[in-house]
Structure 1
Amino acid sequence: GHVLPHSASGTVPSVLLPDAVSARSVSTDVLRKNASDSLGAVPWGAPYFSLLSAESERLDRSLLTSAANADLDARLSPLLLRLGLGLAGDASLLHVLEYLVRVYEVHARPASASRTLLCLSHLHSRPVFARLLGFVDLAAAGEGVWSFLRPFCRPDGKVPAAVPRGAYVAAASRGGGTRLLHLLWTWAGEAAAGPDVEAS
């Protein structure tokens, strides 16, 4: 991992740790500060700061109504797209992703689990994607589309091997491959057009 400078406390330890046990020992407050620093360093970050407020640390999505959760997913969706694009060149944005996983459960909710995998699919050969597979809920993401990733999941929290490009090619050529291709094609179109920012 790396450390980010923090005026109040010198440095804040990276939470990009190789296993779930180590990650759990990092407080949500530290996670939020790291995420805020990372988001503040990119020119497109400002519209998303409301998602990193101090109040968000206490969010319990199980207590929200279906409508409130749907609204939240709609606000998170463009940020996931931005992160997917930004992570290719700025690893510090992983702090933002980890906060979204910890607080907003983007890896486990039907409306965002698939989106999370989709937005990071172009990073399939990098450790961040392998780490994500350690805790993403493939059933919530859409088992029929993402089941080809199951052999790469490591429920013990250890970072698995990278997902080879061939796994995507093979999945796209099988029966349910048209759904995967449609998702990837749609994501590519959104990425080319730029995310619609409605986060505030």
Structure 2
Amino acid sequence: MLMPSPASSPHVIRVGLISDQSIVRAGVRSLLAPYDDRVTVVDIGPESDLGDAQVVLYDVLGLHQGDVKGLETAVKAHPGRVLALSRELQPGLAARALGIGAVASVSLGIDAEELVEVIEAFAAGHLEDGSQADLDNQADRRRQLGRGVNLSPRELEVLGLIVRGRSNEEIAAELYLSINTVKTVIRSVYRKIGVATRSRAVAWAIEHGFATTDVVDE
């Protein structure tokens, strides 16, 4: 358990963590413990009240397990203060987290000193202030979200429906387009993302954060 005394210092950054994996929660606590004069982890867990956390770390594995609302709640409660903890083998999850509202992503494989530096830069606003860190983050964000290939809004819409399993005919009906228009848009998408088949387009889209299921409002 972290000692409470360093958290009382106004210079110590309060870090909240959302993860339903006990090994991740314990690992982050252990990783940051030697830096308790700079950062401290507030109460953590999937249902924890993050309270006055200045930075929120969100384990993107939650998205794989269907926990979209957990991230949406964190983004709403802490706008501009959510960092996605990404998984190298599942890059699409980090992209989805960015699409939902996380400002940047950081790998779970990062070392302790680098993580503390990222948290400090984030808390100080250096990922959104026009600095080099901000520019690097914007470039990474565009790459992860697939924006670097300059898909048009219509192309993004059609690709999103393809990923969710729609046929060309269903896409045409849903978007009020002719079947020939849908085919033309799909050919343009394939060319821009560098694929030749529907299955490869789906794989590319998932890697770049496109949702595979429809979002249902409750």
- TM-score with structure 2 setting the length: 0.32
Greater strand content: 2
Which structure has the highest helix share of the two? 1
- When Rg is computed on C-alpha atoms for both structures, the one with the higher figure is 2
Larger RCO, structures 1/2 (Cα 8 Å, 6+ apart):
1
The TM-score, its normalising length taken from structure 1, stands at 0.34
